Amino acid sequence: MCGVNTVTPMERCGQCITDPPPWDKLICVGEYQAPLSGFIQKLKYRRQVWHAKELAALLAKQIESPAPVLLSIPLHWRRHLWRGFNQSDYLAESLYQCLTERTQVPICFLPKAITRSKMTKNQMGLNRRQRLINLKKAFLLSPKYLTKLQDQPHVALLDDVVTTGSTVAEICVLLKEKGVQRIDIYCICRASRPIL
Ligand SMILES: [Zn+2]
C-alpha cells in the first residue's frame, strides 16, 4: 500500500496496518536504484528531459486503471525559476499522453491545481520529522481548479520519487478535505531509505 519493498511480496507492510498512509494505492516502476535512479538524476539535474518519456512509459505500464484526474507535485516557483523547468511537468505531460493513448476514458490533467504556498527547504538530508515540519502547509489547492477536484471519486498524484511519503501525504490531506474519495500515487521510484 505504501509501496515500500518488503522481503516477501505483500499488500500491506506492518507500518501500513498500524499507521495507514492517506493514499489508497502507490504505483511505482521500482526502487530508487540503478539504472532508474540514474535516469531520474539526468532528468532532474542535467535537464535531459527526453528521459521523461521513457520513464513515463515504464510507469504507464504499471497502471491498470488510470484515475480520471491526474495531478502533479509542483516545485516552488523560485526553485522553478532557478532550475528553469519542473521535471514533474515533463513527467506528468508524458504520462498523460501515454495513458490517454491507451484508455478510452478521458483523463483530466491539471498540472497547475496544486501550488506551493511557501519556499520549503530542500528535503534532502532531513529526517522524517524534520520533513513533516518543513512541509507543514507548504501546499495549496488552486481555487481555479477546486470545482474539478471537489468530491472527485478517483484522483492520481504524480511525483518523481517518493521517499518518506510526507510530501504526497500532505497533498492527500488537502484533497481529502475537498471530498476526494480515492487517491493513487504514481511515482517512478519508491526510496525505502532517505536519499542523502
Ligand atoms: Zn506499507
| pLDDT tens digits, one per residue of 143-192 | 999 999 999 999 999 998 898 888 899 999 999 999 999 999 999 999 87
Instruction: Please name the fold of domain 14-190.
Output: Rossmann fold (3.40.50)
Q: How far is ligand 1, taken at its centre, from the CA of residue 14, in Å? A: 6
Measure 24 CA to ligand 1 centroid, in angstroms: 11
Binned at pLDDT 50, 70 and 90, residue 107 comes out as very high
| Ligand 1 centroid from CA 11, angstroms | 8
* Ligand 1 mean position, distance from CA 77 (Å): 32
Ligand 1 mean position, distance from CA 22 (Å): 11
Residue 6 CA to ligand 1 center (angstroms) comes to 8
pLDDT at 78: 55
- pLDDT on residue 152: 96
The pLDDT assigned to 77 comes to 53
Distance 126 CA to ligand 1 centre (A): 21
Q: Which residue has the higher pLDDT, 196 or 37?
A: 37
pLDDT mean over 127-147: 80
CA of 170 from ligand 1 middle (Å) equals 17
Strand 139-141 relative to strand 114-116, pairing: antiparallel
Q: Distance, CA 17 to ligand 1 centroid (Å)?
A: 7
For residue 1, the CA-to-ligand 1 centroid distance in Å is 5
- Provide the whole-model pTM: 0.85
The answer, yes or no, to whether residue 194 has pLDDT greater than 70, is no
Higher pLDDT, 1 or 25: 25
pLDDT, tens digit (0-9, with 9 covering 90-100), for 45-65: 777 888 899 999 999 999 999
One-letter identity of residue 33: Q
What pLDDT, on the 0 to 100 scale, is given for residue 41? 87
Q: Where are the alpha helices (H) located in 36-145, listed in sequence order?
A: 36-45, 51-62, 77-83, 87-102, 128-135
Q: What is the DSSP letter of 88?
A: H
C-alpha cell of residue 142: 488552486
72, β-bridge pairs: 158
Question: How far, in Å, is the centroid of ligand 1 from the Cα of 56?
Answer: 24
**How would DSSP label each residue in 49-62?**
TTHHHHHHHHHHHH
- What is the 165 CA–ligand 1 centroid distance (Å)? 11
pLDDT tens-digit profile of 2-48?
887 777 777 788 888 888 899 999 999 999 999 999 998 888 777 78
Look up cell 506492518; give the residue. Answer: 14
